[in-house]
Amino acid sequence: MYASPEVCNLGVTKKLNIQTMHFTKVQISELMRKHAEKENGLHDLMEIMLESMMVAERSEFLRENPSNKGNGYRPGHAYGQGRKLEFRIPRDRYGNFHPQILAILRDQEEECDRLAGALYTKGLTQEQVGDIFDQIYGQHYSKSSISRMVESVRTQVGSWLERGLESYYPVMFVDCVHIKIHRRRSVSSEAFYVALAVTDEGRRDVLGIFNIPTESAAGWSGIFETLKDRGVERIGLVVADGIRGLDAVVGEKFPGTPLQRCVTHLKRNLFAKVNHGDKGALAADLRDIFRTGQRDYTIETAWAKWQDMCGRWGKDYRAFRLIRCNADYKAYMTYLNYAPEIQSMIYTTNWIERLNRDFRRVTRMRTAMPNEESVLTLMGSVAMEHKAFDRLLPNITCDRTLFPD
């Protein structure tokens, strides 16, 4: 077929209508060489080749289906070599033609998205992900292309963090992890609140991750309200560190729910109040008070031991005299009201502290996170993919006899 002067001059300014033209091999080679020399030439040639392959595929499809006919084109796009490819997709009259090349392109695009998302959620920046893609594919991927690839991760994590929740959880651990993020022209360390629960089935589940710049009981008040809006009605036990005012917030939002303060946090605070040479003896006293797994060991016995210990240590350290009769410290002994087989699991915030270490591992690869959304995306992806949470907890039965609702 005769080619137009525009094509013969190889001055291609728009996509070639390749299905109406025939060229010799020499003409095709010359056309591709000249076109490739132009800015974005290889990109344009890729679009032309893809469209040509789809036209050829439709022709074969119509030969096998003689009662059907071609019906023009529809616009389409895909992503390749770090850029957006735009082309026309051939159609048939009955809508039965689906180009195989599109399925291949979508598979490749989805694989790139998965790889970019996996790298990003391991703590790499978008720039670092782009550098890796350059090494793998030998082609520069723009920041906007990488951002598009990880957008599916952001969307998935965002939906998961706002999902509906169960009405009852036997145990809920709460804690904050502090992450540095950019705020305008400065960097600030902000609190990200984490709620980790044990389900009725005996598995762990992150109920939510929230950003409030500072850690406070008031912050938890709003978060508990959000959890209730998402479906939570009752909590069997709340386990937390020593943040002031939390007991009142728990009592207001979940009436009747007891609070267990973290014994590990208490020990650290007390160790800081004595001389280094006295820490061994203090540790032995604290182990004797905060026992686990003994059915006949009660809060009353533990409280008596506490007062005796504070009396002895108070002779040398004023701090112990001040806390000896402070009834707030009974919140560190709440775990003794529960079955011996689960006491070691609920008398500290160790479970959520381990999760926080995983959060820090993926965020500390950067000096500071660009914004709170990026932090929530990383932390949420870690929580979603935490394989340990899929396993049933050993030696624990979260039934109503242990955690009455």
SS (H, E, C) the chain: CCCCHHHHCCCCCCCCCHHHCCCCHHHHHHHHHHHHCCCCHHHHHHHHHHHHHHHHHHHHHHHHCCCCCEEEEEEEEEEECCEEEEEEEEEECCCCCCCHHHHHHHHHHHHHHHHHHHHHHCCCCHHHHHHHHHHHHCCCCCHHHHHHHHHHHHHHHHHHHCCCCCCEEEEEEEEEEEEEEEECCEEEEEEEEEEEEECCCCCEEEEEEEEECCCCHHHHHHHHHHHHHCCCCEEEEEEECCCCCHHHHHHHHCCCCCEEECHHHHHHHHHCCCCHHHHHHHHHHHHHHCCCCCCCCCHHHHHHHHHHHHHHHCCCCHHHHHHCCCHHHHHHHHHHHCCHHHHHHHCCCHHHHHHHHHHHHHHCCCCCECCHHHHHHHHHHHHHCCHHHHCCCCCCCCCCCCCCC
User: What's residue 38's pLDDT?
Assistant: 59
Domain count, the chain: 2
Q: How far apart are CA 119 and CA 133, in angstroms?
A: 10
Query: Which of 118, 135, 158 is a domain's end point?
Result: 158
User: What's residue 9's pLDDT?
Assistant: 41
Q: How far apart are CA 201 and CA 196, in angstroms?
A: 14
Least confident stretch, 117-126, 212-221, 261-270: 117-126
One domain, residues 123 and 242: no
One domain, residues 15 and 139: yes
One domain, residues 35 and 139: yes
Answer yes or no: is pLDDT of 113 > 90: no
Mean per-residue pLDDT of the chain:
80
The mean pLDDT value for 250-277 works out to 95
323 belongs to a structural domain = yes
Contacts of 336 (CB under 8 A, 6+ apart): 297, 298, 299, 302, 343
Reported confidence tier of residue 200, pLDDT bands at 50, 70, 90: confident
Residue-range definition of the domain harbouring residue 79:
5-158
C-alpha pair distances (Å), 147 with each of 46, 117, 272, 331:
23, 10, 46, 47
The mean pLDDT value for 249-278 works out to 95
The mean pLDDT value for 293-311 works out to 95
One domain, residues 129 and 179: no
pLDDT digits (tens, 9 = 90+) for 358-397: 888 877 766 666 777 878 888 888 888 776 676 777 655 5
397 belongs to a structural domain = no
Contact 180, 370 (CB under 8 A): no
The mean pLDDT value for 39-55 works out to 70
User: What's residue 330's pLDDT?
Assistant: 95
One domain, residues 143 and 191: no
User: Is the Cα dihedral 298, 300, 304, 309 positive or negative?
Assistant: positive
Comparing 107 with 75, the larger pLDDT belongs to: 75
78 belongs to a structural domain = yes
Highest-confidence segment of 120-134, 291-305, 353-367? 291-305
User: What's residue 373's pLDDT?
Assistant: 81
One domain, residues 194 and 340: yes
pLDDT digits (tens, 9 = 90+) for 286-298: 999 999 999 999 9
User: What's residue 388's pLDDT?
Assistant: 64
Query: Which of 134, 158, 182 is a domain's end point?
Result: 158
Answer yes or no: is pLDDT of 300 > 70: yes
Which two three-digit tokens encode residue 373?
């959304």
Answer yes or no: is pLDDT of 133 > 80: no
One domain, residues 186 and 60: no
**What is the pTM (predicted TM-score) of this model?**
0.67
The mean pLDDT value for 248-254 works out to 95
**Phi then psi dihedrals of residue 240, to 5 deg:** -150, 170
Answer yes or no: is pLDDT of 118 > 80: no
Answer yes or no: is pLDDT of 13 > 50: no
The mean pLDDT value for 125-149 works out to 63
One domain, residues 234 and 279: yes
One domain, residues 134 and 217: no
403 belongs to a structural domain = no
Query: Which of 130, 158, 186 is a domain's end point?
Result: 158
One domain, residues 228 and 369: yes
402 belongs to a structural domain = no
Report how far apart the first and last C-alpha atoms of the chain are (Å, whole number). Answer: 82
One domain, residues 355 and 321: yes
398 belongs to a structural domain = no
81 belongs to a structural domain = yes
User: Is the Cα dihedral 283, 286, 288, 293 positive or negative?
Assistant: negative
pLDDT digits (tens, 9 = 90+) for 143-181: 666 666 667 777 888 899 999 999 999 999 999 999 888
User: What's residue 385's pLDDT?
Assistant: 78
Q: How far apart are CA 371 and CA 362, in angstroms?
A: 15
146 belongs to a structural domain = yes
Least confident stretch, 62-71, 81-90, 265-274: 81-90
Answer yes or no: is pLDDT of 195 > 50: yes
User: What's residue 141's pLDDT?
Assistant: 63
One domain, residues 45 and 111: yes
